[in-house]
Amino acid sequence: MKFSVVLATYNRATELRKTLESLATLRVDDPWEVVVVDNNSSDDTRDRVLEAARSFPVQLHYLRETIQGRSAALNAGIALAQGEIIAITDDDVRVDPDWLTNAAAALGDLECDYVGGKALPIWGGTRPDWLPNRGGKHWGVIALLDYGPQPLEFGDHQVPLGVNMVFKREAFVRAGVWDNNLGRKAGTLLGQEVREWSQRARAAGLRGFYSPDLVVHHVIPGDRLTKKYFRSWFYWNGISRAILYATKCLDMESPERRSLDFSRVPHIAGVPRYLFRTALTAFISIFSAFTAGDKVARFEHELWLWFFAGILRQRWQDRHKPLPQEPEERISSN
């Protein structure tokens, strides 16, 4: 088997049907398969998958994973998958017909272990004026990405999105699979599982690249194009970053940064003291932006405070745990 497409789904039977219709249009010369992992859906997801399997052009597997969490579901799908190359995506995407073929070409041409690509929007509602139509730092909130027309290596400032990633199978052998302490679960907006895996991949000597030829189109429902959703997302992003800080000693503001030894940084309530200064600056900047009539900047500063609130919540919850310590391998490399 050359390719396996693995996607996790939860209570999105109607959208999943459209995603499967899109996958059925893939132009692939080599053997391939699709694995749909149902993460405890209560709708008719199973029936929709089995119905689609009857006319699907290749083997379409249905698997139910009872451990809640997108990461757990993907891990179950990866374990079942037979492909030499494993692609992961979501249940609300539309893929370009040459998605898998382009992925295989990118893995070979870039001589790397995994690739990620563009996730372009299919707007399910009116895009608000505070959200740019092309790129911008808030695109990640709604799982959109476009790093431009040229390939680039993932590293200090570029991280792929889990909605569009393709791996050589060996990558999971060397770096391990997804951490289910992170990643989306019902009732939360936890994230950072891709960033955490990317850190392990780099430590294992793996290389990943952004390929502009690897394209999916992501459906963005109208209820995510609201300030309420963005506030909630940033709050949970702060919680997720605080979990990474506690378990991996990664900088909560810039996880790829390596310049700080947090065992030597002053803390207040388990939070690095400098973050309180940043929070104060953001608070003051809200009023400056309000005075200047800059609604976009005002909302961006507000979102940072929601991010900080998530950090405070998680660090308070972890207050009885020891402060994170620098990993020995990082200390030895400094």
Q: Answer for the pair 244, 212: CB distance below 8 angstroms, yes or no.
A: no
For 285-331, give the DSSP string: HHHHHHHHT-HHHHHHHHHHHHHHHHHHHHHHHTTTSPPP---HHHH
Which residue ranges make up each domain of the chain?
3-225, 229-333
Instruction: Give the mean model confidence (pLDDT) for residues 139-163.
Output: 89
Q: Answer for the pair 313, 239: CB distance below 8 angstroms, yes or no.
A: yes
Predicted confidence band of residue 329 (pLDDT cuts 50, 70, 90):
very low
Task: Give the span between the Cα atoms of 253 and 307, in whole angstroms.
Answer: 9
Residue 262 amino acid letter = F
What is the architecture, at CATH level 2, of domain 3-225? Alpha-Beta Complex (3.90)
Predicted confidence band of residue 85 (pLDDT cuts 50, 70, 90):
very high
CA distances from residue 116 to 75, 135, 245, 268 in whole angstroms, order as listed: 18, 16, 25, 38
Predicted confidence band of residue 333 (pLDDT cuts 50, 70, 90):
very low
Instruction: Please name the helix (run of DSSP H) or strand (run of DSSP E) that holds residue 37, with its range, or none.
Output: strand 32-38
Closest C-alpha among 44, 145, 139 to residue 89? 145
pLDDT tens, residue by residue, 162-173? 999 999 999 999
pLDDT tens, residue by residue, 5-57? 999 999 999 999 999 999 999 999 999 999 999 999 999 999 999 999 999 99
Q: What pLDDT, on a 0 to 100 scale, did the predictor assign at position 247?
A: 84
